[in-house]
Structure 1
Amino acid sequence: MTEERIEEKLASYAQEGKKMFTTSSFQSHSLVLLHLISRFQPTIPIYFINTGYHFPETVAFKDLIAKEFGLNVINLPSQTPRYMQTDSQGRLLFASDPDYCCFLNKTQPLEAILMSHDVWINGVRADQSAVRKAMKEEQPAPHGTVRFHPMLDWDSKAIFQYQKKYNLPKHPLDAQGYMSIGCEPCTRKLDPNMQEREARWFGLNKTECGLHTDLIVKS
């Protein structure tokens, strides 16, 4: 989808009175969508799903980008205190049950946001994983909402070209070899023979946190 088409689609949602929002992990490649929103619909709320496990560099970068782009960034914490996020052995869930950890810290907090909005603007790309490749430009989500995937047909080259065109800043961990940056305990540096999402939950049969598997209605 071209920049012009994205602008038209966002304007169309606005004219229809649709209440829009987006979420962002504030990785370097995430900034393209945020920059587009800042140009076309800057009042759209940006929810930062604050798991409490983010790299300090990510939190600082989020604050920097919010100010530089003039974004309406809203902190979205988990409803479950950290001390309650343990298994029967007392281990934190990110080590023993990462799927449930993601549910408590990412999926569950977003449910209330979906209930109060109409359109979730989501920056997933088809080239990132098999799950995302199967998605459509517009797709139903829970609570009668719609997921809008404006970046679905963009690839890493298109992302790079946009970043270069607008001289977008880069996440400080990029230079250290991190390409897909999530929670600190579940993120590692990318090896040359790994796909982008394989740097997350390394060694586990897991490449998605639930936002793009649980919070979607498959047709």
Structure 2
Amino acid sequence: MRDALAASQDLTAPALLARAVRDWFPGGIAVVSSFGTESAVLLHQVARIDPTVPVLFLETGKLFGETLRYRDTLVERLGLRDVRALRPDPAALTETDADGVLWARNPDACCYLRKVEPLERGLSGFSAWINGRKRHHGGDRAALPLAEYVDGRVKLNPLAGWSRTDITAYFDRHGLPRHPLEADGFASVGCMPCSDRVAPGENPRAGRWRGQAKTECGIHNRPRLAAAGGCG
């Protein structure tokens, strides 16, 4: 674990992923992906290293149909072999969100029910996980390290230092398909009730929980116990 935190700052994203998958956490690492507008970049890099690495997908029950179809497109295109849909507990849904509009009454509680708790279950047994957050998203992500130690696991952010230009160039260079909602003005796509289009020049996550102080669903703003910085 300490080796991963210390060494991450000197590695490019593909090199960091290769070391993590093959050397540091063989068989004990997963990718968490929303299959959103930038997700194909990270998934493509992981698939080139090992397409059997588990991909954890939070199927909240509130996603756009376009996201589900995009997931299927990427799974087939990249040859991903172990995509696991993590769903909220049915009993908890009945008790807490029987009418399906908890997102309007208490968005934090909705995110916990549909994202945080399912991910906690899904990560059981893994020593590390990978996600696609980037500093250019702003807010709490502006000082994002490449690796951190959170809730007893190493958490890798290999694309932390990538800019929007870097992401676009990677899509173009590898001919990766774009999320279908991106052309309709969605720069960041989450659950349907809590995602909105963004205006030109706005932060890419400005459409998430539009008009609220909320900027994160809760799966990322967990207590950080240690971190390693560096450039991506």
Q: Give the alignment of 1:56-205 within 5 angstroms.
A: 56-71=65-80, 72-81=82-91, 82-86=93-97, 92-142=101-151, 144-205=152-213
Instruction: String of CA shifts for 1:9-36, please: whole Å, max 9, x gaps.
Output: 3333322444110111112311100000
Select which of 17, 23, 32 maps to 2:41.
32
TM-fit CA distance, 1:207: 1.1
Q: Percent identity?
A: 33
Aligned equivalents of 2:217, 2:202: Cα separation in 1: 18
Give the conservation status (yes or no) of the 8 Å contact 1:25–1:182.
yes
Query: Following the alignment from structure 1 to structure 2, what is the Cα–Cα distance between the partners of residues 170 and 16?
Result: 31
Q: CA deviation at 1:64?
A: 1.3
Q: Is the 8 A contact 1:107 1:215 kept in 2?
A: no
Please give the alpha-carbon distance, in whole angstroms, between the structure 2 residues aligned to 1:215 and 1:121. Answer: 17
Q: 1:101 to 1:183 in 2, by over 3 A?
A: same
CA shift, 1:211, in A, is: 1.2
TM-score normalised by length of structure 1: 0.90
Indicate conservation of the 8 Å contact 1:178/1:188, yes or no: yes
Distance 2:51 2:107 in 1: 34
Is the 8 Å Cα contact of residues 29 and 127 (structure 2) preserved in structure 1?
yes
Instruction: Determine which of 23, 28, 49 is the counterpart of 2:32.
Output: 23
Deviation at 1:193, TM superposition (A): 4.8
Number of residue pairs aligned between Structure 1 and Structure 2 = 215
Distance 1:126 1:108 in 2: 25
Q: 1:191 to 1:137 in 2, by over 3 A?
A: same
Aligned to 2:13: 6
Per-residue CA distance 1:123-163 (angstroms, 9 max, x = gap): 10011022112221110111x21001100000100000000
> Which amino acid in structure 1 is aligned with residue 128 of structure 2?
V
Structure 2 unaligned spans of 5+ = 1-7, 228-232
Letter in 1 for 2:114: N
Q: CA deviation at 1:199?
A: 0.3
Separation (CA, whole Å) in 2 of partners of 1:78 and 1:216: 25
Please say if residues 177 and 190 of structure 1, whose CA atoms lie closer than 8 Å, have aligned partners that are also in contact. yes
Q: Do the aligned partners of residues 134 and 26 (structure 1) sit closer, same or farther apart at CA in structure 2, a change above 3 Å counting?
A: same
Q: Is the 8 A contact 1:24 1:30 kept in 2?
A: yes
Instruction: Quickly say closer, same or farther: Cα 1:115–1:184, change in 2 above 3 A.
Output: same
| Distance in 2 separating the partners of 1:57 and 1:127 | 25
The answer to whether the 8 Å contact 2:37/2:189 transfers is no
User: CA shift at 1:200, angstroms?
Assistant: 0.6
**TM-score calculated relative to the size of structure 2:** 0.85
* CA shift for structure 1 position 215: 6.4
1:140 is paired with a residue whose SS is: strand
Gaps of 5+ in 1: none
How big is the shift at 1:174? 1.2
Q: Structure 1 130/58 Cα, relative in aligned 2: closer, same or farther at 3 Å?
A: same
